Amino acid sequence: SAVISQKPSRDICQRGTSLTIQCQVDSQVTMMFWYRQQPGQSLTLIATANQGSEATYESGFVIDKFPISRPNLTFSTLTVSNMSPEDSSIYLCSVERGALGTGELFFGEGSRLTVL
């Protein structure tokens, strides 16, 4: 298994501000994923973060709104920019462990953001 730590675990933010979420993994991983879980809904993939290259964003998500950094193989950040109440969600970092291509993901406990 993998130990994934996210900070902050929760925050209350004002409209128009930005917040950066940190994800730290206890071992080196090639790919890290950022998901969003809106209230009462399922998880939606925001982007895939590879070390040394720009993140790959899913349809409906753009770099200006959700800039991602991946400075090394154990750490990534997701910034939620210019927040609005619609951004109130749980943001989850995840990594793949085990044999490549198994799709088995490990998740952090998430960062619950409330935007007022």
What does the CA dihedral 100, 80, 112, 92 come to, rounded to 10 degrees? 0
Q: With CA atoms as reference, report the closest residue to 25 among 72, 74, 96.
A: 74
Residue 2 near another protein by CB under 8 A: no
Piece of the chain touching another protein by CB under 8 A; list 17-25, 61-69, 80-88, 103-111: 103-111
Residue from 53, 64, 103, 116 touching another protein (CB under 8 A): that is: 103
CB of 77 to another protein, least distance (A): 18
* Spatial distance between the Cα atoms of 71 and 16, rounded to a whole number of angstroms: 26
User: x/- string (CB under 8 A) for another protein, residues 56-95?
Assistant: ------------------------------------x-x-
Strands (E), 10-99: 10-13, 19-25, 31-37, 43-50, 56-57, 68-72, 75-80, 89-96
The residues of the shown chain that bind another protein, judged by CB under 8 A, are 4, 31, 33, 41-45, 48, 92, 94, 96, 100-110
